[in-house]
Amino acid sequence: MSVFEIIMLSCFGLSWPIAAYKSYKTGHAAGKSLLFMAAIWVGYIAGILHKLIYSRDLVIYLYVFNLLMVSLDIVLTIRNIRRERSEQASGHGTKA
Q: Could you tell me the pLDDT band of residue 5, with boundaries at 50, 70 and 90?
A: very high
Rounded CA gap, 76 and 70, in Å? 10
Q: pLDDT at position 91, please? A: 79
- Contact of 51 with 60, CB cutoff 8 Å: yes
Q: pLDDT at position 83, please? A: 94
Q: Could you tell me the pLDDT band of residue 93, with boundaries at 50, 70 and 90?
A: low
Residue 92 reports pLDDT greater than 80:
no
Q: pLDDT at position 94, please? A: 56
Query: What's the alpha-carbon Rg for the chain, to the nearest Å?
Result: 16
**Read out DSSP for 16-69?**
HHHHHHHHHHH---TT--HHHHHHHHHHHHHHHHHHHHT--STTHHHHHHHHHH
Residue 95 reports pLDDT greater than 80:
no
Rounded CA gap, 89 and 31, in Å? 21
Write the pLDDT tens digit of every residue in 30-80: 999 999 999 999 999 999 999 999 999 999 999 999 999 999 999 999 999
